Structure formats: structure tokens, C-alpha cells
Amino acid sequence: MRLEIVSLFPAICAGPLSESIMGRAQREGLVDIKLVNLRDYAHDRRQSVDDSPYGGGAGMVLRVEPLFECIESLLDDDAHVVLMTPQGRPFNQATARRLATKKHLILVCGHYEGIDERARQALIDEELSLGDYVLTNGAIAAVVVSDAVIRLLPGALGSDESSDDESFGREPLLEYPQYTRPVVFRNMKVPDVLLSGNHEEIRKWRQEQRVIRTAGRRPDLLRQHMETGEVNGNKKECD
């Protein structure tokens, strides 16, 4: 995958992108990441890329000229351009899986009061938001999306099945409880089924725990899970 992040503050992205799975994915050639400073496309010595909004109002707006010149310089036939903005559709695991199939992803980081609408209409393929809150700029949001997408690339996790059992994996359920050594700690014991060696019983227990945990924490996801026609890993029988 080719990934570019367009931002006024590319340094915000540099550290996280060089660590852990994202760093390893780059070193192994699974993803080619480029951080693009929008100010490099400014037309004045001050490298200004914003201006006050027509019609008045607080704040500043990213100007149309640098946005067009920057994004157009990155475009190719495979490019998919995403704007990180509070106005976007909420980002989720299904979107991450879809974006992970793209050959070329361009993440544009919003800032100030947003971007000139002409750039939005002409250049942006979709808009994404991390949630119903506002960040100082879209750079941190772009790193989050990059992480969620890169870890889904084939080979990024070592085992491509690793992401299936996680929260929001193939099923819309939260992950089951996890335990490791010691077996007993301060009178708290690992469940016997996990020590039994019976893989089928362990699988059933884990699926049951996923349903229980999701019901308590995210009942909306449980309803979605029920609508898919599966309960505890088995297809529901129709009445």
C-alpha cells in the first residue's frame, strides 16, 4: 500500500508511524508512508495556507489553491482521498477493512474551521471522523486511521487470523477475557476451562464470554450480531 498523510503538522505523525506494527510494516515493505506538509505548497514567504472565511465568522479556513496543488501532485489512478473531519462518517473496523484493500490512500488532515468547500467537492472521496468530539487538527486522527488500516494488511500482524478474534473483528462482538501466568494470583484463579486443554470447550467459553461482555458494555453491537443470524457461533434456527 502507498499511504500519504497531508498535514500542517506532519511531525505529529512521524513518531507513532515509526513504532510497533506501523514501523515494522514499513521496514518489511508492506506500506510506503509519506508525510506531506501542506505548507510546501504555499505561495508566499510566510507559507500561509489559510485565510478568513467569506461571510465572516470565527477562525480560519484552509485555502483552495494549496489543497488542489498538493493533492493533485499525489493523485494516480489508484488514489482514494479521505478527509479527516468532525463532519465525517464515524470510523469503525468495517471501514478499516475496506480501506486496507486500497492500493493508494491519501489522508487529508483538516485544521482550523475546515477546508474550502471547492476542494472538498472536487478532491475528496470520503470524509471520516473518529467520534463526536473535536481535535486540534486531523493529524492525530490520521495516525489512528493509519494504525487501524496498516495492521490489517496481509503479513502485518504475523498471523492474519490475529485480527479476527479481536473486538470488532469478523463478528461485531467485543473480545473475550484473556489470562496468562500465574494460574492463581491473590486468590483470583484462571477459569478451569482454559486449563483443560479441551479446545472445543475453550472455543465455546470464549464465544459465550464475548456475548456476555458485549451485552454489558455495547448492547448495540450485540443487536447487530443477532441480526447477522449467529448466536454463540451457530446459525439461529428460523421459527
33-77 confidence digits (pLDDT tens)? 999 999 999 989 999 999 999 999 989 999 999 999 999 999 999
- pLDDT category at 164 given cuts 50, 70, 90 is low
Of 18-22, 44-48, 75-79, 138-142, least confident by mean pLDDT is 44-48
- Which cell numbers hold the place of 195? 486449563
Establish whether 229 is an annotated binding residue: no
Taking alpha carbons only, the member of 105, 184, 179 closest to residue 142 is 105
Establish whether 67 is an annotated binding residue: no
CA dist., res. 125 & res. 81, Å (int): 5
Establish whether 132 is an annotated binding residue: yes
CA dist., res. 133 & res. 87, Å (int): 10
Establish whether 134 is an annotated binding residue: yes
Establish whether 130 is an annotated binding residue: yes
Q: What is the pTM of this model?
A: 0.85
CATH number of the 164-239 domain: 1.10.1270.20
Establish whether 231 is an annotated binding residue: no
Taking alpha carbons only, the member of 15, 74, 17 closest to residue 41 is 74
Q: Which fold has domain 2-150?
A: Alpha/beta knot (3.40.1280)
* Rg of the chain in Å (alpha carbons): 22
Domain ranges of the chain: 2-150, 164-239
Establish whether 54 is an annotated binding residue: no
DSSP summary character for residue 68: H
